[in-house]
Chains A and B, each alone.
Chain A
Amino acid sequence: MSTERQDLTIGMAGSGGDGVVSAGDSLITALALEGYYAIVAKSFGSQIRGGESSFRLRVSTEEALNIGGTLDIAVALNWEDFLRFGSELPVDGTSTVIYDEKTGVAPDKVPLAVQPAQVVAVPIEAMAKEHAGTEKAKNTIVLGLMAGWCGLARASIVAGLRKRFSKKGPELVAANERAFEAGILFAEAHPLRQSLAMAPPAEKRAKLLTDGNEIVGAAAIFAGCEFFAGYPITPSTEVMQFMTREIWKYGGAVVQFEDEIASVGACVGASFAGKKVMTVSSGPGMSLKSEILGLATIAELPLVAVDVQRGGPSTGLPTKGEQSDVFQAIFSAHGDVLRPVLAARSVRDLFGVTVEAFNIAEQYQTPVILLSDGELGQRKETFDPIDTSQFRLVERRRPFDKELDGYVRFRLTESGISPLSQPGMKGGNYLASGIEHNEAGAPTAKGEVHARMNEKRFKKLLPLKARRDLFHIEGDADAPIGIVSWGSVAGVALEALRMARKQGVRAKLLVPTLIYPVPEDVYQDFFASVERGFVLEQSHQGQFYRVLRMFVDVPRGVTSIARSGSNPFLPKEVAFKLRDLAREVQQALAPELQAQE
């Protein structure tokens, strides 16, 4: 006898015209309305139109920290497309596999490396044709199957279908309702051996729903961003699309420039003019922007640059996320530069971290790089409302009237921060420049002035390293096992930690929001009790691990677990790794016991 599920991960794949992605969107919208926590990630081949597409949806009664592990339910409209997604749609012996009977594969002959728990062939296409008169309704049949077998969001799905097809006429609305109903009836007529029924949400109150690119735009507007400039680049473009739709309403402006360089250049100009500014790109675009980011550093102008990372180098894997721009974000600068780098671990988290990026940029008159990635940027999450009154919005330190009398732009102050005037302020006139300058802003090539100015530009950022609130630490404070993870992968680490601790493993996790500068003492404190551990991240080199080792005495037992993009970590495998480490720690404590075994 089975109990209701608290958590389900559903994956579905088909070819371009199958409406797979829109089925995922319909489903998560319905789940948001019902009050479930959910995440949906869509994935495509690199074709412009057509080709394979998939979604992967996790629904939970508790906050979903990542897109989940192996699929509880795998839906294959055809096998070729399903298999193209490889490790993105992992199936194991606990999965239920549903596929279109039309593929002609016998249930005991499905082309998978493992035998799933149950396999159901459904005449999906035939049912679509029969009930809706078109195979285009295959996705609606699948929604009906999910609603039937999982008991998910029936009324909300129907409402969604009505809305989606209302523009196309009552005929299509009725056809899709029939298809949906047919899916439900099929599920009811074919009860599963292992039930997939989902428990109701903890609270039946609609959640908010968006993706990690749009929320960055909303956070920027909230933070006071009045100028945005960008250039299309996957997987970041939705931020600019959002801004072109929204920023005008709030008195701001957006320009799609002719290239990446011009976009960041225009941001520097608008910042010089006194506005909060943002530009967004991905790895290759960030490379193009890096010269002007250097200008923003030396001219001491606030600027937020978001890097929605993708697999690289070069065009790499443009549609897939990766965490391989850590080195670039920190070290791409020419000259001596300390440029703050931040990262967020979920769509919801991106809101606060984006606001923080603006605050740091304004406070310290510096460019700030926010590392998002293709997975965060493209995935949709349902989430609880955020109390925006908790955020303090920082404005750059502008000169007071009396400071405008004999104004000195780059005055050497105790903090290293000098009041920043802007055009329109009488008496605040100064020369901003990329060339080294003295306190007054006049160009100079004097070594001692350059040294003093470098010192000023570094000194002003030191207080950042005391910001303990930019580090999330969870678990047993004195644990011998410690892991560090950041960005989108941190959600996997967090779930793995909780799983392992439930099994009695004493472990802890550190998730930095501040990637750079690295505050040595935060890590020294964290690692003080740690004998074994790892830094978990999505890149080939384990870039953040290597950065940590530049600044921190990372214990020898702490290694790098890193994997190239588009090969997701599963929470369970990370939890197993933690359990293995616990065994190692145990064995190290009692080697003689081990010998007796």
Chain B
Amino acid sequence: MASVNALTEQAYQARDYKSDLKPIWCPGCGDFGVVTAIYRALAAVGRPPHEIAFVSGIGCSSRIPGYTTAYGFNSVHGRALPIAQGIKVSRPDLLVLAAGGDGDGFAIGGGHVSHAIRRNVDLTYIIMDNQIYGLTKGQLSPTSHRGRKSVTSMYGSLEEPINPLMYVLAYGAGFVAQGTPADMSGLAVLIEEAIRFPGFAFVNVQSPCVTYGEPDEQLKAQKAKIEDLRALGHDPADWLHGMDLAREYGTKLYTGVFYKNPTPAPTFAHAVSSLQEQLQSQALPKKDILNMFAPRQA
């Protein structure tokens, strides 16, 4: 989907979302492309930076909110989603982004993903999936493939990796996409579409680790492997086919939208505001709140 505004009509430019903080990422890290794609997506959506909350966990990629001009929150390992949900539920007026690495999202924070999905809080969750722990210098991650050698798997990983795409599809996420900074413009469009989707939206980004990643994961190698889901004729409304394609995670590099619910479910914020409206007439004046404890038997 193309952006709604032509570039010249945009109220905000990509540079308006770029902060002065210099990224700590290694030269050649995929995350540079991801942050640029986010700047572009935000400019296309056009919300001013101060109306955006951008939450992350801990890890190389979780530094990302600091590189934007949004209200950022570089929190603790694995808890970006709970914090982001707290923001969105209490302030539905804000645009909320959450981001982090594959370890942050699917290992230590894995327990939160399914619940954020079933709650359908309207936020966009971007995983920068590099199949390795980079910040702590090269340990096995939940998306590392079986046999992957690392400093914590000297003889090769004994485990199967998690499949983030199938995981979120299975739990019923309304929007599931995958992109790569190897196609930065395409990634920007996917993130924009995810932001515009009313409900929980998930974007898995194959963002390679230039320091601890394997050669065939790097951007150059990716460019040769990319297969655009649209070009393959995939209909994003077809969940079953999306699931089928998601099974190829780890072997094929599909980019595009695996699933987009054509009739999005009501968001959590919607349910909250209806409940508030329905019940507000029952509120006591706060100064008399203790009167609710007047005993009643007659």
A and B assemble together: yes
Q: CB within 8 Å of B: which residues of A?
A: 29-30, 32-33, 156, 159-160, 163, 206-210, 214-215, 218, 221-222, 226-227, 229, 246, 248-253, 255, 257-259, 261-263, 265-275, 277, 291-292, 294-295, 299, 351, 382, 385-386, 388-389, 422-435, 442-443
Q: Report B120-153 CB contacts with A as 1/0, cut-off 8 Å.
A: 0000000000000000000000000000000000
Q: Among B70, B90, B272, B295, which residue has its beta carbon within 8 angstroms of that of A206?
A: B295
Chain B 23-44 interface 0/1 with A at a Cβ cutoff of 8 Å (1 = within): 0000000000000000000000
Q: How far is the CB of B275 from chain A (nearest CB, A)?
A: 5
In the complex, 19 of the A-B residue pairs with CB atoms within 8 angstroms, ordered by the A residue number, are A251-B276, A261-B82, A262-B112, A265-B82, A266-B86, A267-B86, A268-B86, A269-B90, A272-B86, A273-B94, A388-B287, A422-B71, A423-B94, A431-B73, A432-B74, A434-B76, A435-B74, A443-B66, A443-B74
Whether B286 is near chain A, meaning CB under 8 Å from some CB there, is yes
Quick one: closest B residue to A156, CB to CB? B297
| Least CB distance, B45 to chain A, in whole angstroms | 16
Residue of A nearest to B50 (CB): A426
CB-based contact B70/A429 at 8 Å: yes
**Knowing A431-B66, A431-B73 touch, does A351 contact B290 (C-beta < 8 A)?**
yes
Contacts of B83 in A (CB 8 A): 265-266, 268-269, 272
Q: Which of B72, B79, B272, B288 contacts A430 (CB 8 A)?
A: B72
Known: A274-B91, A423-B94, A431-B66. A253 touches B272 (CB 8 A): yes
Contact indicator A434/B86 (Cβ below 8 Å): no
Which residues of B7-60 are within 8 A (CB) of A?
21, 48-53, 55, 58
Option from B86, B292, B297 in Cβ contact (under 8 Å) with A30:
B297
The residue from A29, A229, A249, A442 contacting B282, defined by CB atoms under 8 A apart: A249
Within 8 A of A (CB), among B254-298: 272, 275-276, 278-280, 282-283, 286-298
Q: How far is the CA of A427 from the CA of B71 in the complex (A)?
A: 10
- Tell me, in angstroms, the Cα distance from A369 to B283 when the chains sit together: 28
CB distance from B114 to the nearest CB of A (A): 8
Task: Check A266 against B85 for contact (C-beta < 8 Å).
Answer: yes
- Smallest Cβ distance from B12 to chain A, in angstroms? 13
Residue numbers in B under 8 Å from A250 (CB-CB): 280, 283, 286
Q: Is the CB of A207 within 8 A of B298?
A: no
Quick check: B79 and A292 within 8 Å, CB to CB? yes
Contact A272 B73 (CB under 8 A): yes
Give chain B residues whose Cβ lies under 8 Å from the Cβ of A210: 293
Give every chain B residue within 8 A of A272 (Cβ-Cβ).
53, 71, 73, 83, 86-87
Closest to A442 in B: B21
A32 to B85, CA, bound (A): 42
Q: Taking A248-B276, A425-B50, A442-B21 as contacts, is the C-beta distance between A218 and B290 under 8 angstroms?
A: yes
Q: Taking A222-B286, A227-B86, A442-B66 as contacts, is the C-beta distance between A214 and B293 under 8 angstroms?
A: yes
Query: Which residues of A sit under 8 angstroms from B74, Cβ to Cβ?
Result: 431-435, 443
Q: Among the interface residues B21, B48, B71, B72, which one has the most CB atoms of the partner chain A within 10 A?
A: B71
Cross-chain contact A432 with B73 (CB below 8 angstroms):
yes
- Separation of A33 and B70 alpha carbons in the complex (Å): 55
Q: Is the CB of A257 within 8 A of B89?
A: no
The distance in angstroms between the C-alpha atoms of A381 and B81, with both chains bound, is 40
Q: Is the CB of A208 within 8 A of B280?
A: no
A433 with B82: CB separation less than 8 A: no
From known contacts A261-B79, A292-B76, infer whether A33 and B91 are also in contact, taking CB-CB under 8 Å: no
A159 and B89 in contact (CB under 8 A), knowing A248-B276, A269-B82? no
- Are B58 and A434 touching (Cβ within 8 A)? yes
Is A429 a contact of B91 with CB atoms below 8 Å? Answer: no
Q: Is the CB of B87 within 8 A of A33?
A: no
Contact at B55–A423, with CB atoms within 8 Å? Answer: no
Contact, CB under 8 Å: A257 / B115: yes
Residues in A with CB closer than 8 Å to B89 are 227, 253, 255, 266, 270
Contacts of A271 in B (CB 8 A): 86
Chain A residues, CB < 8 A from B278: 248
Report the minimal beta-carbon distance from A456 to chain B, rounded to whole angstroms: 19
The residue on A at minimum CB distance from B118 is A258
Residues A424 and B82 in contact in the complex (CB < 8 Å), given A262-B115, A429-B70: no
Closest to B94 in A: A423
Shortest Cβ distance from A393 into B: residue:
B286
How many angstroms between the C-alpha atoms of A221 and B76 in the bound complex?
Answer: 29
Q: Are B287 and A429 within 8 A (Cβ)? A: no
Name, among A156, A249, A291, A426, the residue most crowded by chain B CB atoms within 10 Å (CB to CB).
A249
Interchain residue pairs A-B with the least CB separation, the first 6: A269-B86, A266-B86, A265-B82, A269-B83, A270-B90, A262-B82
Cα-based distance from A160 to B297 in the complex (angstroms):
5
Give bound CA distance, A388 to B63, whole Å: 45
Whether A257 contacts B82 in the complex (CB less than 8 A), given A426-B48, A431-B66, comes out as yes
B279 to chain A, nearest CB (A): 5
> How many angstroms from the CA of A115 to the CA of B52 in the assembled complex?
73
Task: State A258–B286 Cα separation when bound (angstroms).
Answer: 30
Taking CB atoms, residues of chain A closer than 8 Å to B283 are 249-250
For residue B169, give the distance in angstroms from its CB to the closest CB of chain A. Answer: 19
Which chain B residue shows the least CB distance to A422? B71
A253 touches B282 (CB 8 A): no
- B38 shortest CB reach to chain A, Å: 15
Q: Which residue of B lies closest to A158 (CB)?
A: B297
- Selected contact of A215 from candidates B280, B293, B295, CB within 8 Å: B293
Q: B293 contacts which chain A residues (CB < 8 A)?
A: 208-210, 214-215, 218
Any A CB within 8 A of the CB of B156: no
Check if B90 sits within 8 Å of A273, measured CB to CB.
yes
